[in-house]
Chains A and B, each alone.
Chain A
Amino acid sequence: MAIVFADTAWVLISSALVLFMLPGLALFYGGMVRRKNVLSSMMYSFVVMGIVAVLWVVIGYSLAFSEGNWFVGGLDHIFLVGIDYTSTTGTIPTYAFVAFQGMFAIITPALISGAVVGRIKFKSYIAFITIWSLIVYAPVCHWVWGGGFLTGEALDFAGGTVVHITSGVSALAILVFLGKRKGYGVDIIKPHNVTLTLIGTGLLWFGWFGFNAGSALAANEIAALAFMTTFVAPAAAGLSWMAAEWWGTGRPTALGFATGILAGLVAITPAAGFVTPMAAIAIGVVAGVVCYNAVILKGKLGYDDSLDVFGVHGVGGTTGALLTGVFATVGAAGLLSGNSHQLFLQLEGSAITMVYAVVCTLAIGFVLDKTLGLKVSVSEENIGLDQTQHGEKGYNF
């Protein structure tokens, strides 16, 4: 197919926007941890830009998108063999497609870091991200988008299943080996700078327009629709989270509003190009309230998913995946269009992905815990990971 220049321009810009989500995520997470762990937490997002960018070109892209079987792609394109600047994918150069998808491969493992802040060894984090990208991300990406067994079955416009369900449930699974932060539930552990978190939320939302609207892989009417839904769903989710919190605790918090926006962004991701803007508002309202309650439930269950990766990405991603099966009307039919089978397909896709991601993460976590060791010592945790892992401090004043 011939290259369409408008599509190419939009996908290139969208790719840059998605990469811009990484510093956004770093600020979002960095603000929520204690002062002594701010650099370490931000570094979890930054270092992934290095590791996965290289990994993607070397082998990740091939495992996800070259021809393979129902489960995983082949090795035809390792080191991008067989692709040059004249190659095309759809209406865009293949290099633009590789770059755009590479950004998704980068942000996904970085999301997991929010669950493990303040206690995972840096070298073990690097090992985990590397192995997880190859064993979990690449195959699931292949299932849903690359020609695997879920392609054309479960609807996932921009990564509700591939990105958010995988990272959300893996965050929960790795905690089996990492446990809680020292003093969790006893000492006062609170965000050191919520203003950073708010700026990070803004950057994430900005980047997310590339994430969702770019997933149309064309500068067309579907991209505009995805842009609109990405615009209103987080707005509605921020409001519904704030309302729930205001009603529940008597205080509308800035951190709550920001988290609600993120929950809305996550939930609209699988639906972005399949639903109308009004349906997007409904999805956002539901996601804000559901994720708020998931985060409260965490406190009662007593596990330390420090920055609520499961509560926001796992629960929000699943909510979005299921509601896509309800509200889809554009280019697909959901429950409201009389196609109840789609809801079943969404449930099936989500459930298979969850089980696969959890089992693989448990296996990776087990092996790393027995070899490198996952958790830092108690005294290193007390002093903080900035000083003990990196030899720096975030603030020298």
Chain B
Amino acid sequence: MKYVIAIIRPERLDSVTRELQKVEVSRLTVSPVSGYGAQKGYLEVYRAVELEINLLEKIKLEIAVNDDFLAPTIAAIQKGAKTNEKGEIGDGKIFILLLEDVIRISTGEVGSEAI
């Protein structure tokens, strides 16, 4: 089992969830986050005072998958999250972690059954 964490652009969320549904990945957690990477920040101006904003708004996806679902999940995120065919700086990243165990609270099922 793997735990997939993806950081994407906010406006790509709908297209990523659409791609995930196509490959039947239907369990996912979403949270608004902010951070910085290679994409540059921007200026905000309040009463003529310029502020350089480095923290950009992003969306974090977290998905627990069984191993045979890993490749389609990653492909779906990548497809949905790219701004255009070749991709742009700021389109985000995908992190994959080993997942030790899963327990479904309602039934007590464990492991890949519980995903």
Residues facing B in A251-296 (CB within 8 A) are none
Q: Which A residues are CB-close (under 8 A) to B45?
A: 390-392
Flag whether A186 is at the interface (Cβ < 8 A). Answer: yes
Residues facing B in A353-395 (CB within 8 A) are 379, 382-383, 387, 390-393
Q: Which of B11, B14, B15 has the most CB of A within 10 A?
A: B11
Q: Which A residues are CB-close (under 8 A) to B42?
A: 387
Could you tell me the distance between the alpha carbons of A379 and B90 in the complex, rounded to whole angstroms? 12
On chain A, the number of residues with a Cβ less than 8 Å from chain B's Cβ atoms is 13
Q: Which B residues are CB-close (under 8 A) to A182?
A: 11
Q: How far is the CB of A379 from chain B (nearest CB, A)?
A: 8
Residues of A in contact with B (beta carbons under 8 Å apart): 182-183, 186-188, 379, 382-383, 387, 390-393
Instruction: Tell which of B9, B11, B14, B46 touches A392, judged by Cβ atoms closer than 8 Å.
Output: B46
Q: How far is the CB of A390 from chain B (nearest CB, A)?
A: 8
Task: List 6 additional A-B contacts (Cβ < 8 Å) besides A183-B14, A390-B45, A392-B44.
Answer: A183-B11, A186-B14, A387-B42, A391-B43, A391-B45, A393-B44
Instruction: Tell which of A187, A379, A383 touches B14, judged by Cβ atoms closer than 8 Å.
Output: A187
Q: Which A residues are CB-close (under 8 A) to B11?
A: 182-183, 187, 382-383
Residues of B in contact with A (beta carbons under 8 Å apart): 9, 11, 14-15, 42-46, 83
With both beta carbons as reference points, the residue of chain B lying nearest to A392 in the complex is identified as: B44
In the complex, number of A-B residue pairs with CB atoms less than 8 Å apart: 22
Q: How far is the CB of B11 from chain A (nearest CB, A)?
A: 4
Could you tell me the distance between the alpha carbons of A391 and B9 in the complex, rounded to whole angstroms? 19
Q: Are A187 and B15 in contact (CB under 8 A)?
A: yes
Q: Are A391 and B14 in contact (CB under 8 A)?
A: no
Q: Which B residues are CB-close (under 8 A) to A383?
A: 11
Could you tell me the distance between the alpha carbons of A392 and B44 in the complex, rounded to whole angstroms? 5
Q: Which B residues are CB-close (under 8 A) to A391?
A: 43-45
Q: Which A residues are CB-close (under 8 A) to B46?
A: 392
Q: Which A residues are CB-close (under 8 A) to B44?
A: 387, 391-393
Q: Are B14 and A188 in contact (CB under 8 A)?
A: yes
Q: Which A residues are CB-close (under 8 A) to B14?
A: 183, 186-188
Q: What are 22 of the A-B contact pairs (CB < 8 Å)?
A: A182-B11, A183-B11, A183-B14, A186-B14, A187-B11, A187-B14, A187-B15, A188-B14, A379-B83, A382-B9, A382-B11, A383-B11, A387-B42, A387-B44, A390-B45, A391-B43, A391-B44, A391-B45, A392-B44, A392-B45, A392-B46, A393-B44
Could you tell me the distance between the alpha carbons of A187 and B18 in the complex, rounded to whole angstroms? 9
With both beta carbons as reference points, the residue of chain B lying nearest to A182 in the complex is identified as: B11
Q: Which of A186, A390, A391 has the most CB of B within 10 A?
A: A391
With both beta carbons as reference points, the residue of chain B lying nearest to A393 in the complex is identified as: B44
Q: How far is the CB of A296 from chain B (nearest CB, A)?
A: 23
With both beta carbons as reference points, the residue of chain B lying nearest to A386 in the complex is identified as: B44
Q: Which A residues are CB-close (under 8 A) to B9?
A: 382
Q: How far is the CB of A380 from chain B (nearest CB, A)?
A: 11
Q: How far is the CB of B94 from chain A (nearest CB, A)?
A: 20
Q: Which B residues are CB-close (under 8 A) to A382?
A: 9, 11
Could you tell me the distance between the alpha carbons of A325 and B41 in the complex, rounded to whole angstroms? 58
Q: How far is the CB of A35 from chain B (nearest CB, A)?
A: 10
Could you tell me the distance between the alpha carbons of A183 and B42 in the complex, rounded to whole angstroms? 24
Could you tell me the distance between the alpha carbons of A63 and B88 in the complex, rounded to whole angstroms? 51
Q: Which B residues are CB-close (under 8 A) to A392?
A: 44-46
Could you tell me the distance between the alpha carbons of A182 and B84 in the complex, rounded to whole angstroms? 14
Q: Which A residues are CB-close (under 8 A) to B83?
A: 379
Q: Which B residues are CB-close (under 8 A) to A186?
A: 14
With both beta carbons as reference points, the residue of chain A lying nearest to B44 in the complex is identified as: A391
Could you tell me the distance between the alpha carbons of A5 and B94 in the complex, rounded to whole angstroms? 72
Q: How far is the CB of B102 from chain A (nearest CB, A)?
A: 29
Could you tell me the distance between the alpha carbons of A256 and B88 in the complex, rounded to whole angstroms? 40
